[in-house]
Chain A
Amino acid sequence: MQLENTGVSIVSAVLFSPLVGVLVLLFWPRLTDKQVRIATLINTLVTFAFSLLMLSQFDSSKGMQMEQVDEWIAGLGIYYHVGVDGISIWLVMLTTFIMPIAVLASWTGIEEKVRLFHGFLLLLEVAMVGVFVSLDLFLFYIFWEVSLVPMYFMIGMWGSKDKVDFFGREMEARIYAAVKFFLYTVAGSILMLLAILYVGNKAETFDFMLIRDLMRSGQLVFTEETERLLFVGFFIAFAIKVPVWPLHSWLPDAHVQAPTAGSIILAGVLLKLGTYGLVRYNLEFFPNAAIDFAPYIGALAVIGIIYGAWVSYAQTDVKKLVAYSSVSHLGFVVLGIFAMNSAGIQGAVLQMVNHGVSTGGLFLLVGMLYERRHTKAINAFGGLWKIMPIYSGFALVIALSSMGLPGLNGFVGEFTILVGSAGSDTLDIWYTVLATIGIILAAVYILFMFNKVFMGPVTKQENQELEDLTWGGNWYELSALVALTVVIFVIGLYPKPFFELMDGAVGDLVAQLDATLQVAMK
């Protein structure tokens, strides 16, 4: 089977423009820290501009588009094949949008080895965009693995200074978290590699589009047992990344130990690699197995929603609270995906973006507080509204968005997911009922936290002097928050264009799933 080479696509420009920055940071002889920051910021903004250009050229009536195919390792049937559809384009947009914010978030927080840190940031951007746009399983796997390396270093080198007890030996907590993160993810992904090899071997190509066509036309069929095994091979890799309960235990460690920019990227984008993979590969390639497993995965998702919310409520450390809330929020996304209908999947895709924006924002806020006070304990604060009104205002919007208040982005996503799961053929109504309880719990832990940190009288003397946000003093913090807040309101008040753009791709996927479901129900 052969693919025709095509011309250069705008997708490649988005993918590789951060690589220019990596090379500059690596080889440019002398740069001050400030120049490094500015160069990286400009680089990420240019990448964002490219992605906006890509968005403007997107045609919602077509499926996969702006594809680029180039021969790479022809001997193994491997191509450089990239492109976007209505699902992946939003995740690319999310990535390119979050990256400048991550750079701004480390403006003052990162003071050691600034050049190396920003090099890793940009490398990570290449890897994450690469995962979303790859249309070749081999290429996809490469970017998937590459994304681990910069994150490992970011946590391990610039993480917190805490210590942890490791089998009776004192150990740097950040190292523990970094190694755990790496091994957990690699263990999952290497099983996926086997599944990829098997599929590639049977299809005689690694190309996503060709394999999809072969499967849809019935030329490539697996036995029930094989399909289930392959499904599990992919699912475990993605479930660890999401993370689906009970594979989440690396996440709180990694989040808490990572530097602010690391947490923002981790929550904002990296976790979405997993949910994206579920939609793109598990549902697309193995619909029969997906239907069989949907009730069980749905159950794990619901447990994750409630467990995450419950554990969040008990946290005394703000960052840990936000970390566990991610487990809860991503439970909704997984629930939406395995509702396997249009509303569920559309809601899930939008909620991926929403979670990136809101939780990324929460981590940014926590990072700002930590830089000022050098603690993340909830009871170290209180009455911040009186001292930092502007900061607190932003915090209120972002917290409410994470909670799912109507009018803000989180509501749109969660509501659509619940509509989807309620009307789902694969999930019982009880899933929806229990998930709704999760929304209530979210309100509880977020409002409690907000109350303790921001409301009431100022209880601690140290907090009196905290600096609020101003354009003159800390423009980088303020501009990052403004950008996030704008997106929160836009999605919350006018989500129509977001759904419209994914209509084509989701409709196509759901049509396939429906057909399989019809057969399965007979």
Chain B
Amino acid sequence: MVFNTDVTANFWAVAPEIALAIIGLIVLGLDLYSRESQRRDVGYFAGFLLLALAAATVFVPTPDGSLSEQLVLGGMLRHDQFTQIFRTMIYIAAALTCFIAMGDNRMRYKGEFYLLVIVATIGASLLAGASDLVMVFVALETLSISLYALAGFVRDDARSAESGLKYFLIGSFATGFTLYGFSLLYGFTGATQIYGPDGIGQQLAAGKLNDAPIIVAMMMIVVGFGFKISAVPFHFWTPDVYEGSPTAMTAFVSVASKAASFAVLLRFMLAVFPPEKLAVGAAADYSELWVPLISVLAVITMTIGNVVALVQKNIKRLLAYSSIAQAGYALMGVAAIATTDGGQGAASVAFYMFMYILTNILAFGCIIVFANATGSETIADFASLGRRNLWLAMFMTIALLSLGGIPPAAGFIGKFYLFRAAVDADLILLAVAGVLNSIIALYYYLVIIKVMFVDPSPDEDKDIPMPANYAWVLGAASLAVVLLGTVLANPVIDWATQAGLELFI
């Protein structure tokens, strides 16, 4: 396999990560040399730089044309629009996480929080482009280890410590599975590179190997990634970790880690177990195996997620189960990639993740404001939020409507796109399951909206203050969710379509 050896192209491919590393170092320095009272500004600093980086990444040129042009750094990374769109959304997620973390007294004065977020972002960002087993693993661990530390960040809070430990134990377990799968693949093919004529994918497609061990490897890898995206039945850590971690960290793990994992899952499945389109004249088509596997996973994931969410009393646990269900919807897009034309399946997942990042961070940001004022995370305590702070209630409503898939919030177009991809891929029953699940999901989102606007509360006349910086961030995120569902939908969908197409080069 020939790789791109042009220095400029190689530089641009990792320029965002280099920038992230520099931002991280600056944040560390600022944290060391500034007085405690000024340390909150470190968060602003990190947030705005990350936002600027997200904007700049859009304009980073990618080598176009062939696969060999796009494979950089000796085949470790593939620098294409697919990498770019996922990177951009991950940076947006990191920036918003920094902004919403600033109101939490347990984190606002600690620069290392922002540093950990940035390091996790480096991992997630590399994961989106990784095209070599070694790179996938390194990126995955960079991301995961920072997240373990973040989950247990508030050391004197038992819940946070517990969630950190749980996340670490179960996460390591999952990593073990992934690694085992990788080692099998390496053992069979002698390659770590997933692309190219002598890469793992084409070797497997040539059909010279026994099916059974390859299926075992495939299972192992799906299990490992399944943990990361919290697909059922690998989801048990999700509610506990989401509930116990500091809310800003919950927001981050629920979006950035999930988006990066979906990126690598899409790329991995297409490259390592290529469908017919990507391995012309191949003897073995493993997509006939993993498409049903992922479809079943999708149906179980969304159904369990939604049904269990119905009975939750704690808002963070509810959002944990809702995020499991959301992963189930996105898995429909993954199932559709093998057979849709023009990479529509991958494009629909990319768009869905884009909207999901904005929406979920918006929801968690609202919860932070609420919990800071009232000290509660119980759904029943959201009663009369509409009277206590109308704007906060409206922001939360927009987030919930988007999660529920009601237009004009972006979630509607996201779901529409996923269902369309499933219908295009002739997975009609999968689409039906998705549609039925959307109805179940609407119920619990609606109940929260009802509680906020209708239920009486003894504290009705106590206003909930919303700090100005939160008002700006949440307002901007709400606006972004609505715009992404209306006038901005087209450019992002075009971009996602382009990203999906490039997976098939």
- Tell me the A residues contacting B by CB distance below 8 Å: 71-76, 116, 138, 141-142, 145-146, 148-149, 152-153, 156-157, 172, 175, 178-179, 182-183, 186-187, 190-191, 193-194, 197-198, 200-201
Contact = CB atoms under 8 A, between A and B. Distances in A.
16 contacts: A76-B417, A138-B416, A146-B406, A152-B446, A175-B450, A175-B454, A178-B450, A179-B443, A179-B446, A182-B442, A186-B439, A191-B435, A193-B435, A197-B416, A198-B423, A198-B428
Contacts of B453: 153, 156-157
Contacts of B408: 142, 146
B423 A172 contact: no
B454 A156 contact: yes
B401 interface: yes
A31 B401 CA distance: 28
A153 B454 CA distance: 9
A197 B454 CA distance: 35
A149 B401 contact: yes
Given A116-B390, A193-B419, 13 more contacts: A74-B494, A75-B494, A146-B408, A148-B406, A152-B446, A175-B454, A178-B450, A179-B447, A183-B446, A194-B432, A197-B419, A197-B431, A200-B420
B182 interface: no
Contact of A194 (B390, B406, B407, B435): B435
B419 A73 contact: no
Contact of A201 (B407, B424, B436): B424
Residue of A71, A145, A197, A198 with highest tally of chain B CB at under 10 A: A197
A186 B442 contact: yes
Contacts of B423: 194, 197-198, 201
B343 to A, nearest CB: 12
B413 interface: yes
Contacts of B390: 116
A262 to B, nearest CB: 15
B434 to A, nearest CB: 9
Interface residues of B, number: 34
Contacts of A191: 435
A183 B419 contact: no
A491 B487 CA distance: 41
Contact of A179 (B428, B431, B450, B496): B450
Contacts of B424: 201
Contacts of B446: 152, 179, 182-183
A175 B408 CA distance: 23
Contacts of A146: 406-408
B435 A74 contact: no
B493 A76 contact: yes
B412 interface: yes
A73 B490 CA distance: 4
Contacts of A183: 439, 442-443, 446
B497 interface: yes
Given A149-B401, A183-B439, A194 B450 contact: no
A275 B439 CA distance: 23
- Specify the main secondary structure of chain B where it touches its partner: helix
Contact of B489 (A73, A172, A178, A179): A73
B163 interface: no
Nearest to A174: B454
Contact of A72 (B401, B420, B489, B496): B489
Contacts of B428: 198
Lowest 4 CB-CB distances: which A-B pairs, in order? A75-B493, A142-B407, A197-B423, A73-B490
A127 to B, nearest CB: 10
B490 A194 contact: no
A133 B207 CA distance: 56
A197 B442 CA distance: 20
Given A73-B489, A175-B450, A194 B497 contact: no
B88 interface: no
B438 interface: yes
A164 to B, nearest CB: 14
Given A75-B490, A145-B407, A193-B435, A156 B450 contact: yes
A149 B406 contact: yes
A168 B8 CA distance: 71
B486 to A, nearest CB: 9
B454 A172 contact: yes
Contacts of B412: 142, 145
Given A73-B490, A75-B493, A75-B494, A193 B443 contact: no
A87 B27 CA distance: 64
B45 to A, nearest CB: 31
Interface in B421-472: 423-424, 428, 431-432, 435-436, 438-439, 442-443, 446-447, 450, 453-454
Contacts of A200: 420
Contacts of B417: 76
A194 B431 contact: yes
A75 B439 contact: no
A197 B494 contact: no
A200 to B, nearest CB: 7
A186 B406 CA distance: 10
A191 B416 CA distance: 12
Interface in B299-354: 347
Contacts of A187: 439
A71 B489 CA distance: 12
Nearest to A153: B453
B80 to A, nearest CB: 18
B419 A194 contact: yes
Contacts of B450: 156, 175, 178-179
B46 to A, nearest CB: 31
Contact of B420 (A71, A145, A182, A197): A197
Contacts of B497: 75
Residue of A73, A74, A138, A141 with highest tally of chain B CB at under 10 A: A73
Contact of A71 (B406, B443, B490): B490
B115 to A, nearest CB: 38
A76 B443 contact: no
A479 to B, nearest CB: 32
A342 to B, nearest CB: 36
Contacts of A156: 450, 453-454
A66 B419 CA distance: 32
A149 B402 CA distance: 12
Contacts of A152: 446
Contacts of A153: 453
A191 B413 CA distance: 16
Contacts of B490: 71-75
Contacts of B431: 194, 197
A180 to B, nearest CB: 11
A156 B496 CA distance: 39
Nearest to B419: A197
A46 B417 CA distance: 37
A52 B409 CA distance: 32
B238 to A, nearest CB: 26
Contacts of A116: 390
A361 to B, nearest CB: 29
Contacts of B454: 156-157, 172, 175
Contacts of B494: 74-75
A201 to B, nearest CB: 5
Nearest to A178: B450
Nearest to B422: A197
A193 B416 contact: yes
Residue of B413, B428, B431, B446 with highest tally of chain A CB at under 10 A: B446
Nearest to B485: A142
B390 to A, nearest CB: 8
Contacts of A148: 406
A193 B416 CA distance: 8
A157 B455 CA distance: 9
Contacts of B447: 179
